[in-house]
Structure 1
Amino acid sequence: MGRFDLQTLFVPLIAVAIGPIYALITGDAYVLHVFERALIFAVAAASLNLILGFGGMVSFGHAVFIGLGAYATGILSNADITSLWVHVPFVLAVCAVVALVIGLIVLRTTGVHFIMITLALAQIFYYTAVSSSKFGGDDGLVINERSTFFGFYDPWSSWHFYGFIASFALVLIWITTAIINSDFGLRLLATRENSQRAGALGFHVFGTRLLAFVLSGMICGLAGLMLANQSEFATPGYASWQRSGELLAIVILGGVGLRMGAVYGAFAFVLLEHALASFTNHWPFIFGPVLILVVLFLHRGVGGWVERVFHLNRSKTPDFEEAH
């Protein structure tokens, strides 16, 4: 099916379907909660993969947009504004403005300077949220109402809410993939491969990278909206550097630069976390070596291994010269 291949279409659908099937077979509805979390992190990681895997921008503060999306949603919900038609534009606007400001600063740097400035700016939001008693401070903001959608679903029903999260996540994953597969995605890839040559070809390198950064922040903000609804809570921890590190780990685990890498990585991360946490509270000590082994032996991550085992088409965007 061209550049929008069958894997791109069906891998997210399969990921969405496994949770309800398992819940029906076992009678354990809690698994829906686990799969909701995996889908939310898949969206957030896909937004990071857009700028990291295809733009070469290593952000160590990307979780700030999860925090922004969560707090924006919580503030509106607690003001009795629960319509998704208000929540989505508000979250998009807030994240777009913040991403634009951050992007205008960080995109003038590269390498370790880019990493450290994204971290520093994200920590500003984190400490602002911690010190804001109006929004719960370090204890976080309890959200009393979930987002509604014209009464089409019951936000307090486990099955209805899973359908809401799954549908929202699918749309966002496909939108992210469409951006990657577009001409804009190829221009972004060209700036990653050789920014000087891309500029010589007439591409606006800074503008392309800035737009990608803003789009990435907006998509990640919507992951924050979903997380706020799922947890009924907004906390500064959503924007912490540890959360940003988790997003980086998910992208690496799934395969940097693979279109479906974020989906593979998020489900591998969340399910492995869930399994290990049932044995020990110190599961990161086990997960760390697993991530190291993936980096050492699975250079394209879990996604690359799945593609190789099942002989799937490459989901990695070709090099700029291959695409032309």
Structure 2
Amino acid sequence: MRRSQLPALLLAVLAVGVGPVAALVADDPYLLSIFERFLIFAVAASSLNLILGYGGMVSFGHAVYLGLGAYATGLLANAGHESLWIQAPVVVVASAIAAFLIGKIALRTSGVHFIMITLALAQILYYLAQSSSAFGGDDGMVIHARTTLWPGYDAFDPWQFYAFVAVTSLALLWLVDVVVRSDFGRRLVAARENGQRANALGFDVTGTRLVAFVIAGAICGLAGMLLANQSEFATPGYSNWQRSGELLAIVILGGVGTRSGPILGALVFIVVEHYLVSITTHWPILFGPLLILVVLFFNSGLSGVVAGLGGRLLATPAGGAK
């Protein structure tokens, strides 16, 4: 494990625990919604980091799966199918199929061409949602019921809903971590480092990349399901290129190719967004310089900064002697 790679799941668990504590101390349940958004975007960014950080595939249309997951959830909920055990499989299948089709086309190219194809294909789906009256058009779709789990579960109770988002997000973050640390994850890194050598070793480079693309799309689709429940709304804006840019910014801010990077990046991004929005609607202008500074001075993003500080603290002898 590289020094810049912190225990991702431990970090996520600690962050999950901070949400309820902050809400209780401030006596403000609204704080739970901020941590819910953080967890949702941590999952989406982790799925992007799987193909970007470990697969070397720069997708500028990854948010399309957020939109697909949100709309699939909304359509099912408004049709009376509110059960998680119905919604989750539909979201996974829909997102995986979309990721397979997009990946099958985009992986024929590389570099800038790959970026532009993922952007173009994602924008096609974005404009289809925007122009379709069945999806509410540009106004979006109001979701009248949240996902249900079992009898007695109250999806509109802030504490129970936070527990649902937290447990689901931790499970998805764990899944990404398992994929990264598996033999498949190592093959994906090998394909990123040198595709020709990986082919010579007998790896199916294109197949490996496509499978990673599908896994990332399915996990991001589930993040879209959580986002639809959290906002009780689905809008084409979830899948446009600006949202994809935000996911890229989160990964870069936290550290590309680090297991804890998307979690740290999402936490800082959501907290900074929350406070900057109260200052100006043009908050990205203030956020941009922060991202530029991180890119210029910290190769491993915030994950590298935190790991470096932790290493210095551990290296300091007891009593603070130098």
Give the structure-1-normalised TM-score.
Answer: 0.94
5 Å matches for 1:88-127?
88-127=88-127
Q: 1:85 is matched with which residue?
A: 85
> Could you list the per-position Cα deviations for residues 250-302 of structure 1 after superposition, in whole angstroms to 9, with x for gaps in the alignment?
00000000011110000010001111112222211100111101101111111
The alpha carbon displacement at 1:153 in A equals: 2.5
The alpha carbon displacement at 1:151 in A equals: 2.5
- Counterparts of 1:236 and 1:247, CA distance in 2: 16
Q: 1:319 is matched with which residue?
A: none
The alpha carbon displacement at 1:18 in A equals: 0.8
Q: 2:186 is matched with which residue?
A: 186
The alpha carbon displacement at 1:6 in A equals: 7.8
> Could you list the per-position Cα deviations for residues 105-144 of structure 1 after superposition, in whole angstroms to 9, with x for gaps in the alignment?
0001000000000000000000000110121000001100
- Counterparts of 2:152 and 2:311, CA distance in 1: 40
Change over 3 Å in CA distance of 1:6–1:60 after alignment to 2: closer
Asked if 1 retains the 8 angstrom alpha-carbon contact of 2:46 and 2:176, the reply is yes
Asked if 1 retains the 8 angstrom alpha-carbon contact of 2:56 and 2:192, the reply is yes
The alpha carbon displacement at 1:186 in A equals: 0.1
- Counterparts of 2:256 and 2:8, CA distance in 1: 15
Q: 2:27 is matched with which residue?
A: 27
5 Å matches for 1:178-217?
178-217=178-217
Task: Indicate the percent of aligned positions where both proteins have the same amino acid.
Answer: 61
> Could you list the per-position Cα deviations for residues 11-34 of structure 1 after superposition, in whole angstroms to 9, with x for gaps in the alignment?
110011111111111101111010
Which has the larger displacement, 5-14 or 255-264?
A: 5-14
Q: 2:319 is matched with which residue?
A: none
Q: 1:140 is matched with which residue?
A: 140
Which has the larger displacement, 71-80 or 21-30?
A: 21-30
Q: 1:269 is matched with which residue?
A: 269
Name the amino acid aligned to 1:141. Answer: M
Q: 1:174 is matched with which residue?
A: 174
Secondary structure, aligned partner of 2:40: helix
The alpha carbon displacement at 1:152 in A equals: 5.2
**Structure 2 residues without counterparts, runs of 5 or longer:** 313-322
Give the structure-2-normalised TM-score.
Answer: 0.94
The alpha carbon displacement at 1:7 in A equals: 1.6
Asked if 1 retains the 8 angstrom alpha-carbon contact of 2:6 and 2:259, the reply is no
- Counterparts of 2:32 and 2:151, CA distance in 1: 21
Residue 282, structure 1, aligned to residue 274, structure 2: no
Change over 3 Å in CA distance of 1:116–1:21 after alignment to 2: same
Name the amino acid aligned to 1:121. Answer: L
Instruction: Let me know the Cα RMSD of the aligned residues.
Output: 1.4
* Structure 1 consecutive aligned stretches of length 4 or more whose deviation exceeds 3 Å: none
Name the amino acid aligned to 2:88. Answer: V
